[in-house]
Structure 1
Amino acid sequence: MSVLDSIGFLIATFERYAGEDGDKRTLSKPELKKLIQTELKGLIATSKPGEVDKLMDDLDHNKDKLVDFKEYMTFMAAVTMICHEFFTKQ
């Protein structure tokens, strides 16, 4: 898989979940939760009460109660860095 393929996959993943609640340019809290539970299952906990609320609050830099593409990519970059650190220490 090339870097361009990976970029395309990140864009396609965002677009697959965004818009289920209306706006295709943003992820609502339920859309974000579904994305995490499906695409990042086992990596990020979403089962305890308040976990998705906390994550949503951390990601939503402009406080519009939505995660836009820039906020999503910031999240994906952070997840990638955490995974890199974890796997290079093993």
Structure 2
Amino acid sequence: MESAINALVSGFKAYAGRDGSSDTLSRDEFYRLVSSELSNFIKKADDPAAIDQLMSSLDKNNDGELNFLEFWQLIGQLASKHGRFSQ
């Protein structure tokens, strides 16, 4: 599990650092991350409108970016669905 956490943190920082801050994902960074890394887990991963809606649902502080904790919500949701754990 440690390697999975390392991979998630490293992946987040790799995408987050492209447009500026390595602490947040911009809309474009989030779109690139989802379409490149999560396309088998997220329906319509190549649809910008669907990704905008997904990002908006995760962006709890409404700043137009996702910090790691906001992003982590998505990972938890995807893992729960993939593992067929009850919500």
TM over 0.5: yes
Inter-partner Cα distance in structure 2 for 1:48 and 1:25 = 25
Aligned structure 1 segments of 4 or more residues deviating by more than 6 angstroms: none
Between the aligned partners of 1:17 and 1:47, the Cα distance in structure 2 is 17
Per-residue deviation, 1:79: 0.7
Deviation at 1:69, TM superposition (A): 0.5
Cross-structure match for 2:70:
71
Q: Which amino acid aligns with 1:54?
A: Q
Cα displacement string for residues 18-75 of structure 1 (whole angstroms, at most 9, x for unaligned residues): 0211111000011001101111123212333510110110010000000001001111
**Structure 2 residue ranges without an equivalent (≥5):** none
Which one of the candidate residues 25, 48, 51 is aligned to 1:27? 25
Return closer, same or farther for 1:68/1:83 CA change in 2, 3 Å cut-off. Answer: same
Any stretches of 5+ residues in structure 1 without a counterpart? none
Distance 1:49 1:79 in 2: 19
Q: Percent identity?
A: 31
Residue identity in the other structure for 1:75: L
User: Hey, what does 2:36 align to over in structure 1?
Assistant: 38
1:13 counterpart SS class: helix
Residues 1-90 of structure 1 aligned to structure 2 (within 5 Å): 3-44=1-42, 45-85=44-84
Q: What is the root-mean-square deviation in Å for CA atoms of aligned residues?
A: 1.4
Task: Tell me the number of residue pairs that the alignment of Structure 1 and Structure 2 aligns.
Answer: 84
TM-score where L is the length of structure 2: 0.89
